[in-house]
Amino acid sequence: MGESLYSIKINRLGGDPLDWESFKHKKILIVNVASECGYTGQYSQLEELFRSNQDRLNILGCPCNDFGGQEPGEAKDIEQFCKLNYGITFPLTEKIKIKKDPHALYQWMTTRIKNGTGDFEVEWNFHKFLINEDGQLYSSISSGADPFCEDILNWLN
């Protein structure tokens, strides 16, 4: 079965602890994001997906500079970039590490013994993890798949 997603501590981009209560009983799409990536345009699709499915979906963006150094900014820079360029309203976490000394959230999502589902590797920015309403990992989707891909839409419906 693995560990519980909801027991993992992570801060929001502004520094306050993320409250998992608002995520419970909804599907969750967790994405490692970066401001200077070829996939950064996916922010628009993520926001559209979030706004059109808020009753049943939460999206959590996790800024990370591990892949190509494409998220060099500090928290205020990241927040400003996301709001000004993409109107992001879904929550963003503090800037985290994934490749070396990964944050507990990514340890959970990438390790079968922790998530109870499988071992997964994050290869680049905008990798997507799908979490079911019960907090269980459902699937991992590569960076190149856009947020409106068939796998995500089928999972939502």
d(CA 66, CA 60): 18
How many separate domains does the chain show? 1
Residue 1: what pLDDT? Answer: 56
Amino acid at 42: Q
- Of 37, 62, 64, 82, which one is the catalytic site residue? 37
Q: Domain with 116 in it: what CATH number? A: 3.40.30.10
Nearest 5°: the CA angle 68, 72, 77 is: 145
| Mean pLDDT by groups of 10 residues along the chain of 157 residues | 87 96 95 97 98 97 98 96 97 97 98 96 98 96 97 96
pTM as predicted: 0.97
Find out whether 2 and 118 touch, Cβ atoms under 8 Å. Answer: no
Q: Residue 82 domain-assigned? A: yes
Work out the burial of residue 124: count CB atoms within 10 Å of its CB; fewer than 13 is exposed, 13-18 middle, 19 or more buried: middle
Is there a catalytic annotation at residue 37? yes
Q: Residue 28 domain-assigned? A: yes
Residue 3: what pLDDT? Answer: 81
